[in-house]
Amino acid sequence: MQTGQVSIVSPGQLETQMKLSLHENFLGIRTPVKLADQVLLGIIPIFLIFLLWVFTTSGHKKTINLPEGIFEGWEKSPPPDGTVFSDKIRLTIENCSLKHLSISSEEDETLLLKASATFSLGRIPARDFGNGVRLSLPAGKIVGREKPAAELAVKSEDEQRVTETGELINTTLARIEKKPANTKTPSLLKFAYHYEIVETRIISPLILPSPAEVYRSLPSLWSDRKLPLNVLYSFLRVGAGFIVAFMIVFPLSLLMGTFSKVKALFSPLMLFGGYLPIPALVPLTMCLFGTTEQQKIMFLAIGFAIYLMPLFVKALEEIDNVYLQTGYTLGASKFQMLNKILLPMALPNIYDAMRLGFGIGWGYIILAEMVDMGSHGVGTLILTSQRRGPREDIYLVLIAIVVMAFITDKIWDKVGKKLFPYRSQER
């Protein structure tokens, strides 16, 4: 093959590359992995975690029959079959009563009595309400209704006779309208309700809600609690803290990475910051700045500075001395050594440190925003969800943080490829 010749991959070769080959040298050391294998291997642990999540948050399902009543919010017309209630719903049943039975010393059963019919309520909370009963149904679904028995009517021959024009003569309705007063009362209307017994879950929903519960909580979090606005507030705070830290750390790191005595001057502070626990900065910045917006930005700036400074200095110190000796040989000044040799060669690694540091900031923002319940931000959403509920929002906010961090990381990656295209070239 001549130099510079472009190789074209045929559809057959592309199909061969996309075939799975997990069985071939699975434990090979530093062996190339095909794209299809990478995708599958990346999905497997995520899928297993999701299955474990579903298994530990799934309880036994149960279907019970109940007499028709008035659902809260459905006073004008009953909910149709297939209606799903994502949260508890109240049901008021008139002209009925409750009866409690003791099955054992630890378990009681509640029965609902209406029109000589008995309905077992299981663990559904119920109480007397006026001349009836009010139930608090768990989240579930109306799976169907039992049709009342049709009224008996004697059909004569003339009611089933077809006229010459093909029309059916049916006088059943007229007979029903003229039925005597002693006709039997229509059958009791019933419906079937399907729900989950949350007490049978391996992990309580207060600790870990199910994937379906988390998904159903998304519309409320998005619109009522303004998730996009809170994410924007957090992003602006992370950006502001990062800029403040960069304006201080970058010039100081250049001096420390270039001049040995300047590094010796600030090394104790850098070492002290490396062992300083970041959560300890929260009460410190609160003492200095209160719970204002300035406190959040300064907390993030200090956290960024502690993380970025050692990486910036290391990027400068990793440059080989041979380049410095070449610069001295050519008569370069100290400023030229820094501006023409050290800084250009260290910039790619400095950029990588900035990219990693900005991602770390999304972990720091939780600590910054949890101290002020009145402020916006993802940290405030997590804290209020933990204290007041719903707990499902905690997991949604965490997912939103991961998604936002992933998007910003990809933006950093794209910009890095534009600034340093030679780094992505294959050797």
Tell me the range of 5-14, 26-35, 91-100 where mean pLDDT is highest: 91-100
Q: For residues 24 and 36, what is the distance between their CA atoms, to the nearest angstrom?
A: 13
DSSP at 74 = -
- Which DSSP helix (H) or strand (E) runs through 42? helix 35-56
What is the mean pLDDT of the segment spanning 363-385?
80
Tell me the range of 39-48, 144-153, 331-340 where mean pLDDT is highest: 39-48
Find out whether 126 and 98 touch, Cβ atoms under 8 Å.
Answer: yes
What is the mean pLDDT of the segment spanning 349-377?
83
Q: How far is CA 84 from CA 138, 178, 197, 271, 379, in A?
A: 11, 40, 16, 58, 32
Of 9-13, 231-235, 285-289, the range with the lowest mean pLDDT is: 9-13
What is the mean pLDDT of the segment spanning 166-182?
43
| The one-letter amino acid at 83 | T
- In the predicted model, is pLDDT for residue 199 greater than 90? no
Percent of the chain with pLDDT over 90: 9
pLDDT level of residue 246 (50, 70, 90 thresholds)? very high
Instruction: Answer yes or no: CATH 1.20.1440.120 is held by domain 221-424.
Output: no
pLDDT of res. 149: 52
pLDDT of res. 168: 39
Choose among 333, 347, 237: nearest CA to 293. Answer: 237
Higher pLDDT, 170 or 283: 283
What is the mean pLDDT of the segment spanning 134-162?
64
**Which sequence spans correspond to the domains of the chain?**
221-424
pTM (two decimals): 0.71
What is the mean pLDDT of the segment spanning 274-303?
85
pLDDT of res. 23: 67
Residue with tokens 């040298």: 25
**Strands of the 117-122 sheet, one edge to the other:** 97-102, 108-114, 117-122
Tell me the range of 24-33, 171-180, 392-401 where mean pLDDT is highest: 392-401
Q: For residues 392 and 188, what is the distance between their CA atoms, to the nearest angstrom?
A: 39
pLDDT level of residue 242 (50, 70, 90 thresholds)? very high
Choose among 53, 23, 21: nearest CA to 37. Answer: 21
How remote is the C-alpha of 423 from its chain's centroid? 35
Tell me the range of 159-173, 276-290, 368-382 where mean pLDDT is highest: 276-290
Dihedral (CA of 399, 52, 212, 206) sign: negative
pLDDT of res. 365: 83
**Cα-based torsion angle of the residue sequence 336, 340, 342, 344 in order, rounded to the nearest 10 degrees:** 160
Higher pLDDT, 164 or 235: 235
Q: For residues 329 and 320, what is the distance between their CA atoms, to the nearest angstrom?
A: 15
Q: Which tokens go with 235?
A: 């992003």
Q: What does pLDDT average to over the chain?
A: 79
Of 149-158, 320-329, 397-406, the range with the lowest mean pLDDT is: 149-158
